Amino acid sequence: MSKWKKIGAFLLVLCLIAGLWTPVPIKAEGHTDYTPEELLEDIEGILLWEKSEEHLSAEDNLLDAVFLQGVGNSSIDWLVFGMGRSGYPDDYSGFRAVAEEKISSEYQKTGGLDREKATEWHRMALAILAAGGDPTAVGADQDGNPINLVVDGVYDMQEGMSPGKQGINGWIFGLLTLDSLRYQVPEGAAETRESILISILEKQLADGGFSLNASTEEDMSDVDLTAMAIQALAPYYNSEQTYTYERMGRKVTQTVRQSVDEALKCLSDRQLDSGGFISMGFENSESCSQVITALCSLGIDPGKDERFIKDGHTVLDALMSYQQKDGGFLHSREYDEENPEADPDASNLLASGQACYALTALCRYYGGLRTLYDFREEPSQEVKEQITQARAAIQGLGDSAETSALQAAYEAYLAVPVEERSYVYEYADLAEQMKEAGLANDSEYLAASMEQNTKGNGTITSLFGKEIDMSADIEFSQEDAEAVKKLPETVTTENYVEVVKLLDKLNKSENQEDYEKERGILQKKKEEILKIQEEIADINNTVLEKLYPLEDISREDKKTVEDLQKRIAALSEYDRQEILQYEDIREASVRIKNQETALMVSIVVGVLIVLILLVVFLRMRKRRAKRLEQRRAVRYDAEDDEDDDEDDEEE
């Protein structure tokens, strides 16, 4: 690096730390050609934005205590997935430790993850792979056995469950997870690779796309689901194997390539002049991210393929138009009532996470690396050369090649190991010309080559040229022991990540026997924190079960509300922030007080009315008595007068 470049880089870091410069400006509308270096800067810009959101400096690890509190949340997990696939330097062991703890805790409490959403298993498995972990050996279940997210979440789910229970996205991400490390499916499994693949294919609609809730073939597809389906089907694109299945009630026999080509046409037809896409009624950035990821999975350059350039704009142009000055990405420029967290004026975590992995997919494509969802080690140099030679041979064919040239290109393709042939992106052109020329194509089906591994860690390859220490040689240091001593006497959930990371490191260290005292302290602190987490979860669940809808709150709920308020008051100030419905509890209390006040007012008014009526009654009674007295007096006077008259007559 030159002297001036070093000075410029130093000044840039100073500006970043001082907050005087935002990492990435809003991209101007129109077409722009982006270099891989610029795309890497954009990926880093996303991560710097999230660091600033967590009040971290540019040099701090994002995977720190505060950020990792959200492990298991979709937005957090997908951002970590994108980080890991880009190889951005950070503490991935921290993520793995917290993910294992949370998954183990859920298994031990309920026997698994979400029974309705298989994608909970898939997302966690993919994020753990991206962080360099092994999703087939995560933590421990109720019986103390390692948890296998691939078995439990894909091909052998619990009774009554299925990857497709939540819709086609369960099948899509089930296949992505199954193929992420080319996992073997044992005989007798509830699902096979083929059954999952067909479950996706049979949901294809008449327009070539896919949709979550389609019931007939004529229903309109969704851009995001269509792009995701392409991502899952991509490894089979070069296979000549045909599948026969019912497609929305119609029998179909065709290759995966034919289905994918229909889906690509659908996406091309749905692309707007801006280069972007509409999903769920809104033009948004996530659709752009999914399409970019889909195209890269097939070796299609989203910046150059004419099918995906509209009015001079590419889908990458559209995606980058959502990037903000702070480095993050908008969800949409329109307000969505059904998605109130997606502020049209502020960067969004889920949108930014998807942009992160879409740009990572593009950088991996430009760098000749494995696709986004392929976590195997990179091919050997020999295999890479075989792939390069096959691609070059096909590219050199032209539109009408001689039979000898076709045969030579085909032999170059067959020289590539079958498990790597999906990376010969031009193969479809060769297959089409061979078909037209009447040449036999007896290439092996690719599905069989997927049965490679039963376990293994995901491979982290850095796109930033910085080494990431993934060493298995872990040693619990004296510095770690000091960190244990510094833990507060009374812990809160704020200490959860630190305790879990230290305990995980100790349990995996070779010198763990030297720190049994520290292990006891950490285990005790962890149990205390887990009790607090359970209390917080129970409070939140009680609110949802007993106080909703708030409009129906009555004085009968007073004891429940008072009990909840006492339990919340017993929590630390930090833990009270974890009560998601805290304002609702206060509103319930106010409603009850208002009802009691209204009741008291009603009682007082009622008493006053009774008193007034009593007074009126007594006064009326008194008046009546007085009138009667007066009448009696008049009568007595009259009788006296009559007596006097009678006396006079007698005289």
Q: What is the pLDDT of residues 46-105, one digit of tens each?
A: 999 999 999 999 999 999 888 999 999 999 999 999 999 999 999 999 999 999 999 999
Q: What is the DSSP letter of 538?
A: H
CA separation (Å) from 603 to 444, 598, 609, 611? 87, 9, 10, 12
pLDDT tens for residues 426-441? 999 999 999 999 999 9
The arithmetic mean of pLDDT across residues 632-648, rounded, is 61
Between 234 and 640, the more confident residue is 234
What is the amino acid identity at position 361?
A: A
pLDDT tens for residues 218-246? 789 999 999 999 999 999 999 999 999 99
pLDDT tier at 551, thresholds 50, 70, 90: confident
Query: Which of 342-351, 538-547, 625-634 shows the lowest mean pLDDT across its residues?
Result: 625-634
What rounded mean pLDDT belongs to the chain?
88
- What pLDDT is attached to residue 600? 74
- What pLDDT is attached to residue 65? 83
- What pLDDT is attached to residue 648? 52
Query: Which of 127-131, 149-153, 362-366, 466-470 shows the lowest mean pLDDT across its residues?
Result: 466-470
Distance CA 371, CA 234 (A): 10
Model confidence at 555: pLDDT above 80: no
- What pLDDT is attached to residue 639? 60
Helix (H, G, I), strand (E, B) or coil at 79: helix
Model confidence at 6: pLDDT above 50: no
- 125 touches 150 (CB < 8 A): yes
Report the share of the chain in percent with pLDDT over 70: 89
- What pLDDT is attached to residue 22? 37
The arithmetic mean of pLDDT across residues 152-181, rounded, is 95
Distance CA 244, CA 324 (A): 47
pLDDT tier at 595, thresholds 50, 70, 90: low
Model confidence at 16: pLDDT above 70: no
- What pLDDT is attached to residue 297? 98
The arithmetic mean of pLDDT across residues 576-594, rounded, is 71
Model confidence at 24: pLDDT above 50: no
- What pLDDT is attached to residue 535? 92
- What pLDDT is attached to residue 52? 96
- What pLDDT is attached to residue 216? 79
- What pLDDT is attached to residue 7? 36
The arithmetic mean of pLDDT across residues 180-188, rounded, is 97
pLDDT tens for residues 397-416? 988 889 999 999 999 999 99
Model confidence at 3: pLDDT above 60: no
- 227 touches 293 (CB < 8 A): yes
With CA atoms as reference, report the closest residue to 360 among 221, 240, 460, 488. Answer: 460
Phi/psi of residue 241, nearest 5 degrees? -70, 135
Distance CA 439, CA 433 (A): 9
Written as six digits, the tokens of 370 are: 């494995």
Distance CA 442, CA 425 (A): 18
- 498 touches 487 (CB < 8 A): yes
Distance CA 463, CA 180 (A): 19
CA separation (Å) from 470 to 84, 287, 535? 12, 33, 36
Q: Which of 293-297, 332-336, 402-406 has the highest mean pLDDT?
A: 293-297
- What pLDDT is attached to residue 591? 67
CB contact burial 563-591 (16+ within 10 A = b; e otherwise): ebeebbeebeeebeebbebbebbeebbeb
Q: Which is it for strands 250-255 and 282-283: parallel, antiparallel or unpaired?
A: unpaired
Written as six digits, the tokens of 61 are: 């690890």
Distance CA 19, CA 437 (A): 63
Q: Which residue has the tokens 């590419």?
A: 314
Q: What is the DSSP letter of 453?
A: B
- What pLDDT is attached to residue 578? 84
The arithmetic mean of pLDDT across residues 462-484, rounded, is 82
CA separation (Å) from 342 to 105, 282, 334? 31, 12, 9
Sign of CA dihedral 464, 470, 476, 481: positive
Model confidence at 598: pLDDT above 80: no
Q: Which residue has the tokens 């009568």?
A: 635
- What pLDDT is attached to residue 21? 35
Query: Which of 160-169, 308-317, 356-365 shows the lowest mean pLDDT across its residues?
Result: 160-169
